[in-house]
């Protein structure tokens, strides 16, 4: 396997359609999903010659911590659907590579198990639903588990219209229909592995669930939609969380500015991987205005549509401090399982990023941040960037 595109194709062949579509799909007509990738392809990096970069250092600082590479695993619920053991496999591989693994509130492995597997590299992502004490309980568990970075996601409190999931009647627990049976029978390696491991569920909700053995995704989404989302939520999280706090799902520069002013430590420019609305800007389009609004010293991370080391280089050149990837990692485990998949995916990204840096004439991530580029065609005020 030599690229994320190859991992995706292998994952598509190995996973039942209902599962692959849940991972791969987006909202509405999937226009945002498609543009997330094409905007990166539209952007061009402009190499410099005679630059001494025989050896490259991919490590970087983010929020006071040194990471081995300028990218990590973005939070995703139900990762173990991609392959049993995906959360743990990804967390262990991330720790080994010195990069962060962000565990979702909706994860299929508990906060405590992941924090044990990757003590210095686990971040915790919080969704706040209708029940505030439950959210506070998650914060207490994350703190007790030794986690020091909180990601507060603020762009997904309304159930999105994901047409593939609707067509496939996606539900969790999976509903036994003749169509599902046929899907499972024609993807035997996933079905047998999942049968042996047990179907994934929302592990973090087990202690508060009325029936821990049968937590329904529809109930989870309903609880999210009941939350009163306002700026008080950020103030509350800020007051309760004594360590680094990053707000994820920001596209408007004024929101980013207010988040910074309220004492958060960073934002993730993200459209949730095109999973929430088909009509919003891509992250790489939204990035320059956000960087301008918050200034050079505030941490700006980016996700949505990153599928290669070249894309990581582009995001950094365009103003991001750090990049997160979602589906890319699930394609890896869907294709190659929970042990090999994460390692191979990280190796592909590392190799591509290193090659891009060498070709551009950058020996450090810092230099990559000022690399020259032609912007994506869709940038609002198109001007070339970097030190040209």
> How many chain residues are in contact with ligand FMN, going by CB under 6 A?
23
| Contact status: 152 vs ligand FMN (CB under 6 A) | no
Q: Counting contacts by CB under 6 A, is residue 32 touching ligand FMN?
A: no
Q: Indicate the residue among 183 and 303 with the shorter CB distance to ligand FMN.
A: 303
Residue 100 sits in the site that holds ligand FMN (CB under 6 A): no
**CA nearest to 74, candidates 303, 291, 315, 241:** 303
Return the H-helix or E-strand segment holding 126: strand 122-126
169 assigned to active site: no
Is 270 one of the binding residues for ligand FMN (CB under 6 A)?
yes
Q: Does residue 125 bind ligand FMN (CB under 6 A)?
A: yes
Minimal CB distance residue for ligand FMN: 326
Q: Can residue 308 be called a binding residue for ligand FMN (CB under 6 A)?
A: no
The stretch among 85-93, 115-123, 251-259, 323-331 that binds ligand FMN (CB under 6 A) is 323-331
CA dihedral 105, 29, 226, 301 (to 10 degrees): 40
Provide the minimum distance between the beta carbon of 383 and ligand FMN in the complex, in angstroms, as a whole number.
26
* DSSP conformational letter for 217: H
Instruction: Give yes or no for residue 325 binding ligand FMN (CB under 6 A).
Output: yes
**Least CB distance from residue 363 to ligand FMN, whole Å?**
27
Q: Cα separation of 5 and 109, whole Å?
A: 27
Per-residue mark of binding to ligand FMN, 202-241 (x: CB under 6 A)? ----------------------------------------
Site string for ligand FMN, 153-182 (x = CB under 6 A): x-----------------------------
Does the footprint of ligand FMN cover residue 286 (CB under 6 A)?
Answer: no
Cα dihedral across residues 101, 243, 269, 373: positive or negative: negative
Is 76 a residue that touches ligand FMN (CB under 6 A)? yes
Q: Which three-class secondary structure string do you get for 246-263?
A: EEEEECCHHHHHHHHHCC
User: Would you tell me the crossing angle of helices 4-14 and 327-360 to the nearest 10 degrees?
Assistant: 170
Minimum CB–partner distance for residue 273 and ligand FMN (Å): 3
3-state helix, strand, coil in the chain (%, to 5): 50, 15, 40
Pairing of strands 44-46, 372-374: antiparallel
Task: Report the candidate in 266, 294, 363 with the shortest Cα–Cα distance to residue 60.
Answer: 363
User: Per CB under 6 A, which region of 88-96, 216-224, 324-332, 354-362 contacts ligand FMN?
Assistant: 324-332
Among 17, 248, 291, 314, binds ligand FMN (CB under 6 A): 248
Is 104 one of the binding residues for ligand FMN (CB under 6 A)?
Answer: yes
Residue closer to ligand FMN (CB basis): 320 or 362 = 320
Scanning 69-77, 89-97, 309-317, 351-359 for contacts with ligand FMN by CB under 6 A, the matching segment is 69-77
Q: Give 122 or 125: the residue with its C-beta nearer to ligand FMN.
A: 125
Q: Which residues contact 352 (CB under 8 A, 6 or more apart)?
A: 308, 309, 310, 312
C-alpha 134, offset from chain centre? 23
Other Cβ atoms less than 10 A from the Cβ of 367: the count is 20
Asked if 145 and 118 touch (Cβ cutoff 8 Å), the reply is: no
Quick one: 178 exposed, middle or buried, by C-beta within 10 A (0-12, 13-18, 19+)? exposed
Candidates 84, 273, 281, 341: give the one binding ligand FMN (CB under 6 A). Answer: 273
**SS3 of 272, please?**
helix
Question: Hey, which residues are catalytic here?
Answer: 272
Question: Which positions lie near ligand FMN, rule CB under 6 A?
Answer: 23, 36, 74-77, 104, 106, 125, 153, 248, 270, 272-273, 275, 303-306, 325-328
């Amino acid at each position: 396997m030599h690229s994320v595109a190859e991992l995706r194709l292998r994952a598509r062949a190995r996973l039942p359609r209902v599962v692959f579509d849940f991972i791969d799909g987006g909202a509405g007509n999937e226009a945002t999903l498609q543009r997330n990738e094409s905007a990166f392809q539209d952007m061009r990096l402009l190499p410099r010659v005679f630059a001494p970069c025989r050896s490259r250092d991919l490590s970087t600082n983010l929020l006071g911590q040194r990471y081995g590479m300028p990218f990590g695993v973005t939070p995703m619920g139900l990762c173990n659907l991609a392959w049993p053991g995906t959360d743990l496999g990804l967390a262990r591989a991330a720790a080994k590579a010195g990069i962060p693994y962000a565990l979702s509130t909706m994860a299929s492995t508990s906060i405590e198990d992941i924090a044990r597997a990757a003590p210095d590299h686990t971040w915790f992502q919080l969704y706040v639903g209708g029940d505030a004490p439950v959210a506070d309980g998650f914060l207490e568990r994350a703190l007790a588990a030794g986690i020091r970075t909180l990601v507060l996601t603020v762009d997904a409190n309304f159930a999105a219209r994901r047409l593939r999931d609707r067509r496939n009647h996606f539900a969790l627990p999976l509903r036994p229909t003749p169509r599902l049976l046929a899907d499972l029978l024609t993807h035997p390696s996933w079905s047998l592995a999942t049968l042996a491991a047990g179907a994934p569920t929302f592990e973090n909700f087990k202690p508060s669930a009325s029936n821990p053995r049968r937590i329904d995704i529809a109930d989870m989404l309903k609880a999210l939609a009941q939350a009163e989302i306002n700026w008080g939520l950020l103030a509350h999280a800020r007051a309760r969380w004594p360590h680094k706090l990053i707000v994820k799902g920001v596209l408007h520069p004024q929101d980013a500015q207010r988040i910074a002013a309220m004492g958060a430590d960073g934002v993730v420019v993200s459209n949730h991987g095109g999973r929430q609305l088909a009509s919003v800007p891509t992250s790489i389009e939204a990035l320059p205005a956000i960087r301008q609004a918050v200034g050079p010293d505030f941490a700006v991370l980016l996700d949505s549509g990153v599928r290669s080391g070249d894309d990581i280089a582009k995001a950094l050149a365009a103003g991001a401090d750090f990049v997160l990837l979602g589906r890319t990692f699930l394609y890896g485990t869907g294709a190659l399982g929970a042990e090999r998949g994460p390692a191979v995916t990280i190796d592909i990204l590392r190799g591509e990023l290193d090659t891009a840096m060498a070709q551009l004439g950058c020996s450090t991530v810092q230099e990559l941040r000022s690399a020259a580029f032609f912007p994506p065609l869709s940038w609002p005020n198109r001007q070339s960037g970097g030190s040209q």
